[in-house]
Each structure stands twice: as structure tokens, then as C-alpha cells.
């Protein structure tokens, strides 16, 4: 990795760890502080990332500490990132009480701002959206939009409803206006089973089934016409596994050809919207280690604009410092590490170097 800042990668998926609900208490209104303490809410961790599992935090990274120093030391010093985007996955989306969910999400965003963004200008972050309540999402964007270190809005792949539904459109309109991408990250509010068949028993299924959520969201955003209505909206699929995409596009396009008139505003093959509006982070990348496997995927996508470099810190997706998956062709490294992230996150270039 060259030392010139312009050649250093942008890490598009890094996870700060909320140590416990106690960490959010200073950011909550007194009413919600009391709710947390009276109810004994210690943590909002879910099955999605069992806190003590090796996969959730690679043992050596855990040993270095998952706090501010541990994260920045690893991502910037060891892996050489120029900027890193914090996607905080903490179960605020699981809370059924919408008022509580909104309060916890606001506190989480303020915690991210104060404990992370304010301490290091190299850090950027996603605004976690309280999807329990659409007006509250708008308020959260209004409240935080002026902070240019917030470069994305974050939702989980498996929410309460598909995101193409019109009740969410004001949020997508706002994101398009702000030129802030919508990040869809693996995970679930667990208000619905992760599979359409119902609840599964095992964590391994829960994690593997995330791709189903991504596929349903993608199909829904396209068929409901979100990219027709908001052509400037970028969607980043984070921790999606990537390689399922060409087959899914093919399937969607095949059925679109036959039943196009049902959704006449979709007047181009679905893959064209995906190529223009959808991006994906590269960790994890579900493919054998041979380079040809991914070259074929890129070839099938007819694009090399859609991949964004990401370590997925501290999840155990790779060993050592091999952040870039080995199957990604060398000639695409710079594009994936620097050019594609910059093109996706306009706020990153606007704030680069600014304190």
C-alpha cells in the first residue's frame, strides 16, 4: 500500500461495537434512561452477531480491543485505510415500541457522532434510520445532515416491510436530495422470520438466509419504481455476499420480460437499474478463491463500478491483512478501493482532509 493519501483505500464497512446499553445512557432523555435501568435492558444484541462468537470479532482483533483505539489502529494503521465508514449494527431496529426505538436510535447516532466521528476526522458513518417510524427517519436526517461525516443512511436487509413501499418514499426522496446513499446491511429487526418459511433453529441458517432479504429488497425497490421516482438514489448492499447477484438479475429480467405490463414504469430491464443505482461491499464475497470466479461475476454484471472495498471489521471474513478478497483481479483493485467508493459517497471527497 502506497503511503500517498490519494492511493489509500476507503473502507466502506467497519463496525464499531456498542459495549452495552450503559454506553448509550448519556445520550438518552431521562425518561428513556429510566426505562433502560428500570427494565434492566443490558444489551440489544441479537442472534445476528452473537457477541462472543469468533465470527463476530476475529480473536486477534478482539484481543486488541474493539474500542476506538482498537478499531482505528487496525483499520487505519494496520490496513492502511484513508477513510472508513462506520456502520453500527446494534439492535435498535428490534424494539417494538416505536417511541423507544426512535429514542434508542437517536442515542445511537449521537454516540457514534460523539465517541467516534468527533474524535477522528478520518472516520465517517451511517445515520442509523429508526424505521419503526417514517417521520422520525426524516427528523433524524434533518437533525444530522449538516454533519458531513455522516455519509450514508443505514437500514437492515430484513426490516418490517420491503423498502420499496410508498410509505418509505419520503425518506428516499430526502436521501436523493442530500446525495446520501441508502446502505442496506445484513441483519434483521426480527419482526419477521428471516426466511419466508418461518423461524429457523440455527445461527448458520440465519446468516446464510440474509441473501434472501437482500434479493427481496432489491426486487421490491425496482418493481415499486423507487429508481424511476428517485433515479439519483444510490443503494449500497453491505455484507451481502455479492455473487448471488447476476443469477438474481437474470431471473428478475426473465420474468419482467413476460409480465412487464404489470409494472409499466419499469421500462428498462431490471439489471440496468441495478447497474446504475446499486453498489456492493466486497466482504464477505461468496466465491471460491480462484480469480476466474469473480471475473465471471463482473462479466455477467457488465460493470466493474459496483464493488466497494470493505474490511467488515471486526467480523472474521479473512485472516491477517488480506482485506481485499483474493479472487478480485489485480487491475480492479484501485477502482474498488478508491474510485468506486468516491463515486458512491460524494460526501467523502467533500470532507477529505477536513477536520
Task: Please tell me whether residue 167 binds another protein under the rule CB under 8 A.
Answer: no
Contact partners, residue 268, CB within 8 Å, separation at least 6: none
- Of 47, 65, 220, 229, the one binding another protein by CB under 8 A: 229
Q: Give dist(CA 328, CA 294) in Å, integer.
A: 6
Measured from the CB of residue 258, what is the shortest distance to another protein in angstroms? 4
Neighbours of 205 (CB within 10 A): 12
Task: Please tell me whether residue 165 binds another protein under the rule CB under 8 A.
Answer: no
Q: Give dist(CA 127, CA 129) in Å, integer.
A: 6
Task: Please tell me whether residue 143 binds another protein under the rule CB under 8 A.
Answer: no
Task: Please tell me whether residue 250 binds another protein under the rule CB under 8 A.
Answer: no
SS3 letters for 91-110?
A: HHHHCCCHHHHHHHHHHHHH
Task: Please tell me whether residue 273 binds another protein under the rule CB under 8 A.
Answer: no
Q: Which CB, 169 or 244, lies closer to another protein? A: 169
- Of 39, 148, 165, 166, the one binding another protein by CB under 8 A: 166
Task: Please tell me whether residue 275 binds another protein under the rule CB under 8 A.
Answer: no
Measured from the CB of residue 348, what is the shortest distance to another protein in angstroms? 30
Measured from the CB of residue 271, what is the shortest distance to another protein in angstroms? 12
Task: Please tell me whether residue 257 binds another protein under the rule CB under 8 A.
Answer: yes
Residues 26-85 that bind another protein (CB under 8 A): none
Contacts to another protein by CB under 8 A: 166, 224-226, 228-229, 256-261, 264-265, 267, 269
Amino acid at each position: 500500500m502506497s503511503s500517498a493519501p490519494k492511493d489509500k483505500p476507503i473502507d466502506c464497512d467497519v463496525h464499531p461495537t456498542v459495549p452495552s446499553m450503559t454506553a448509550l445512557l448519556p445520550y438518552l432523555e431521562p425518561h428513556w434512561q429510566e426505562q433502560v435501568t428500570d427494565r434492566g435492558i443490558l444489551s440489544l444484541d441479537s442472534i445476528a452477531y452473537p457477541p462472543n462468537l469468533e465470527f463476530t470479532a476475529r480473536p486477534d482483533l478482539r484481543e486488541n480491543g474493539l474500542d476506538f483505539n482498537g478499531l482505528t489502529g487496525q483499520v487505519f494503521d494496520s490496513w492502511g485505510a484513508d477513510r472508513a465508514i462506520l456502520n453500527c449494527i446494534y439492535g435498535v431496529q428490534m424494539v417494538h415500541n416505536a417511541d423507544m426505538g426512535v429514542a434508542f436510535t437517536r442515542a445511537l447516532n449521537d454516540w457514534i457522532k460523539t465517541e467516534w466521528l468527533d474524535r477522528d476526522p478520518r472516520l465517517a458513518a451511517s445515520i442509523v434510520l429508526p424505521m419503526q417510524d417514517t417521520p422520525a427517519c426524516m427528523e433524524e436526517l434533518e437533525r444530522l445532515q449538516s454533519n458531513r461525516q455522516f455519509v450514508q443512511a443505514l437500514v437492515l436487509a430484513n426490516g418490517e416491510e420491503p423498502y420499496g413501499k410508498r410509505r418509505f418514499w419520503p425518506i428516499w426522496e430526502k436521501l436523493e436530495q442530500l446525495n446520501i446513499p441508502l446502505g442496506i446491511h445484513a441483519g434483521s429487526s426480527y419482526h419477521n422470520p428471516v426466511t419466508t418459511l418461518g423461524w429457523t433453529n440455527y445461527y448458520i441458517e440465519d446468516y446464510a438466509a440474509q441473501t434472501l432479504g437482500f434479493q427481496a429488497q432489491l426486487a421490491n425497490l425496482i418493481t415499486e419504481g423507487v429508481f424511476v421516482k428517485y433515479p439519483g438514489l444510490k443503494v449500497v448492499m453491505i455484507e451481502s455476499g455479492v455473487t448471488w447477484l447476476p443469477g438474481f438479475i437474470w431471473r428478475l429480467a426473465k420474468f419482467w420480460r413476460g409480465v412487464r405490463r404489470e409494472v409499466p414504469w419499469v421500462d428498462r430491464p431490471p439489471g440496468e437499474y441495478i447497474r446504475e443505482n446499486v453498489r456492493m461491499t466486497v466482504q464477505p464475497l461468496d466465491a471460491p478463491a480462484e480469480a476466474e470466479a469473480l471475473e465471471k461475476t463482473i462479466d455477467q454484471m457488465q460493470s466493474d463500478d459496483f464493488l466497494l472495498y470493505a474490511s467488515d471489521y471486526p467480523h472474521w471474513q479473512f485472516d491477517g491483512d488480506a482485506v481485499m478478497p483474493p479472487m478480485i483481479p489485480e487491475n480492479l483493485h484501485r477502482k474498488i478501493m478508491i474510485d468506486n467508493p468516491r463515486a458512491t459517497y460524494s460526501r467523502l471527497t467533500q470532507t477529505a482532509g477536513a477536520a
